[in-house]
């Protein structure tokens, strides 16, 4: 495990977000663009990745946000990695943990450390097309409308209560890359808006139903 690149405990006021990301981090970038405005009400205080070379870690460094990689290969098994990941996240004292393109399944033991406080963005209209290939699977099925979903994370794969969704049309001639790029435009807006509202207004979960405010 690398040491955090910045001070691990950002004392800034507001709701504290820790973002977990595995990839380029365009969703993280959108959150980082929003959080400097005090009216947004939430701040990214830490970024954690499972991949030491994730672009998301570079984005965090450039924004002056503390970041750390917790690579599974550095742990003897999945349980130990989940425990190491939870410790790395807990250092930042998050109010909410935001999975923004984090491509691993979190164990129940991880989620129990942040009960009801982990949200994920998924590039399909759940409950259709869960899993790692939501865009590809929607395209292969032949749907004419797909989209993105922000949901609370539970022990299943993309099965937790839905907080917000946005629809994106599938265009003739779309391939996985072109469709995913259009979904990601909608996804960034939805994630920033939804996380901001969750932070400012609070989120209630009643079974499968959620409400903001
Ligand atoms: C997003 O579409 C996310 O939902 C999916 O992977 C993509 C990550 O994009 N799981 P980025 O790394 O935020 O650019």
pTM of the predicted protein model: 0.94
Asked if pLDDT for residue 13 goes beyond 50, the answer is: yes
For residue 208, the tally of other CB atoms under 10 A from its CB is 10
Asked if pLDDT for residue 208 goes beyond 70, the answer is: yes
Q: For 179-195, what is the mean pLDDT?
A: 98
Which pLDDT does position 7 carry in this prediction? 45
For residue 44, the tally of other CB atoms under 10 A from its CB is 28
Which pLDDT does position 12 carry in this prediction? 63
Q: Across all residues in the chain, what is the average pLDDT? A: 94
* Ligand 1, atom nearest to 102 Cα: 10
For residue 187, the tally of other CB atoms under 10 A from its CB is 25
* Ligand 1, atom nearest to 122 Cα: 4
Distance CA 80, CA 82 (A): 5
Does ligand 1 have an atom closer than 6 angstroms to the CB of 27? Answer: yes
pLDDT band per the 50, 70, 90 thresholds, residue 1: very low
Which pLDDT does position 3 carry in this prediction? 38
Candidate from 20, 44, 123 with most ligand 1 atoms within 8 A of CB, to mutate: 123
* Ligand 1, atom nearest to 180 Cα: 2
Residues annotated as part of the active site = 122
Does ligand 1 have an atom closer than 6 angstroms to the CB of 123? Answer: yes
**Which tokens is 156 given?**
């299943």
Candidate from 184, 188, 189, 195 with most ligand 1 atoms within 8 A of CB, to mutate: 184
Asked if pLDDT for residue 188 goes beyond 80, the answer is: yes
**Which tokens is 196 given?**
């901001």
Crossing angle of helices 176-201 and 134-141, rounded to 10°:
120
Candidate from 31, 47, 100, 194 with most ligand 1 atoms within 8 A of CB, to mutate: 100
Closest listed residue to residue 171, CA positions, set 131, 149, 142, 148: 142
Does ligand 1 have an atom closer than 6 angstroms to the CB of 51? Answer: no
Separation of CA 80 and ligand 1 centre (Å): 25
Which pLDDT does position 213 carry in this prediction? 87
Tell me: the pLDDT tens digits for 106-124? 999 999 999 999 999 999 9
**Which tokens is 150 given?**
């922000």
Closest listed residue to residue 168, CA positions, set 178, 158, 160: 178
């Amino acid at each position: 495990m690398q040491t955090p690149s910045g001070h691990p405990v950002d004392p800034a006021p507001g709701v504290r977000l820790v973002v977990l990301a595995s990839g380029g981090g365009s969703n993280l970038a959108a959150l980082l663009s929003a959080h400097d405005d005090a009216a947004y009400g939430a701040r990214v205080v830490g970024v954690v990745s499972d991949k030491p070379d994730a672009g998301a870690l570079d984005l965090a460094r450039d924004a002056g946000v503390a970041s750390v990689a917790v690579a599974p290969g550095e742990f003897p098994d999945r349980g130990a990695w989940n425990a190491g990941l939870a410790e790395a996240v807990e250092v930042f004292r998050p109010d909410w943990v935001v999975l923004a393109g984090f491509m691993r399944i979190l164990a129940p033991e991880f989620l129990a450390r942040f009960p009801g406080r982990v949200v994920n963005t998924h590039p399909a209209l759940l409950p259709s097309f869960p899993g790692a290939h939501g865009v590809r699977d929607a395209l292969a099925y032949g749907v004419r409308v797909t989209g993105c979903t922000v949901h609370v994370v539970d022990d299943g794969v993309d099965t937790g209560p839905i907080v917000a969704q946005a629809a994106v049309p599938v265009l003739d001639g779309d391939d996985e890359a072109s469709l995913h790029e259009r979904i990601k435009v909608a996804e960034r807006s939805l994630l920033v808006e939804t996380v901001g509202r969750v932070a400012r207004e609070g989120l209630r979960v009643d079974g499968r139903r959620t409400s903001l405010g």
